[in-house]
A and B are shown apart, each in its own frame.
Chain A
Amino acid sequence: MKRLTLLLAVLVSGLVAADDRRSGFADMTPAVQALQRGDAQNPAMLWVRGGEATWGQRAGAANRSCADCHGDARQSMRGVAPRYPAFDEPSGAPLTLAGRIDACRVRHQQAPAFAPESEAVLGLEAWVAMASRGLPIAPPADPRLAPWRAQGERLYRQRIGQLDLACAQCHEGLAGRRLGGSVIPQGHPTGYPLYRLEWQGLGSLQRRLRGCFNGVRAEAPAYGSAELLALELYLMQRAAGLALESPAVRP
């Protein structure tokens, strides 16, 4: 009887096992949360407006706008951002959302790709991502992404830099504790691109990751590098199911 009770207890606890993952939103002070909640207060909306304008602008030798093919992004782009990065057949590698926007720009608009982290591509990324605000992060179950995700996890757990720290040490082991008065978040990319108070501007997940590399005094991989792509893929997999908040605000 005792053994049966024990077995039942173990089964039940397994079934109701808490998902203790949370977005960095939960770790922010109420004042900064309020900045994100109000579209009239969220500084990221400045870039969203820019992206909305760029979406409708004809460009390139093809003289086409995003809208010409995709119509109203609020409908057509809904569900897109949560499943990026995704595999791109023509290039045989995964693409981030910004990479996908660039690919469209080059292939379909016949215009030069945007510079990484440029106002134009960040605006478009914000406009496209916002169309999926509230939707759960949905990484594709695409086996071609598996080796990239595995590489991303290896990088995530690898000690790097002069401070000899791995992402996992702070963002898993010490998440919820404080570093210098700020709460250490779990590091889920739920709100990119986002307005970071530290940057006083909008930036991508790659910008944030490069900042982390600098933070542990490691050499930061270049924008668009395989390492950052692998990390993005792993992080989005790790955040699967959490709601997208783009465009978010963070301290």
Chain B
Amino acid sequence: MATRALVHLPAVLRRGEAFEVRATLQHPMETGYRRDSDGRMLPRDIVRRFEARLGTELVFAADCFPAIAANPYLAFWLRLDEGGTLELRWTGDRGFQHVETVAIALA
């Protein structure tokens, strides 16, 4: 099944005004500390890094460890003077990568 992500920004974004970006990614964030029903350790499979870029510029990032909950949720604030394309990228174990892009137009 394709990985899903939810990205929420306010409906109206204004130049110079802080706004919150809220992002949820569908991912089990398997900690590597759990056992299956046969007692075998389930290998770690987590998102390790989240990056938000406006164009090429990094505007927010997170290094994630197994203690970040499954279906990881991150909310951070931006203040922009110019619109552009906001790219959200999650990368992790087993070559995991997921990208969401949001067009930002400022009022």
Do residues B8 and A40 form an inter-chain contact, with CB atoms below 8 A? yes
Do residues B70 and A45 form an inter-chain contact, with CB atoms below 8 A? no
CB B35 to nearest CB in A, in angstroms, measures 15
Task: Say yes or no for B26: interface residue by CB 8 A criterion.
Answer: yes
Task: Say yes or no for B73: interface residue by CB 8 A criterion.
Answer: yes
Q: Contacts A40-B8, A50-B4; is A200 near B24 (CB within 8 Å)? A: no
- Chain A residues, CB < 8 A from B91: none
CB B67 to nearest CB in A, in angstroms, measures 13
- Chain A residues, CB < 8 A from B69: 200
Least CB separation from B20: chain A residue: A40
Number of B interface residues, CB 8 Å?
13
Task: Say yes or no for A41: interface residue by CB 8 A criterion.
Answer: yes
Beyond A43-B71, A49-B4, A119-B1, 16 extra complex contacts between A and B, CB < 8 Å: A39-B8, A40-B8, A40-B24, A41-B22, A41-B73, A43-B24, A43-B73, A46-B4, A46-B5, A46-B24, A46-B26, A46-B71, A200-B28, A200-B70, A201-B70, A201-B71
30 contacts between A and B (CB under 8 A): A39-B8, A40-B6, A40-B8, A40-B22, A40-B24, A41-B24, A41-B73, A43-B24, A43-B71, A43-B73, A45-B6, A45-B24, A46-B4, A46-B5, A46-B6, A46-B24, A46-B26, A46-B71, A49-B4, A49-B6, A50-B1, A50-B4, A119-B1, A120-B1, A200-B28, A200-B69, A200-B70, A200-B71, A201-B70, A201-B71
| B interface residues, Cβ below 8 angstroms from A | 1, 4-6, 8, 22, 24, 26, 28, 69-71, 73
| A interface residues, Cβ below 8 angstroms from B | 39-41, 43, 45-46, 49-50, 119-120, 200-201
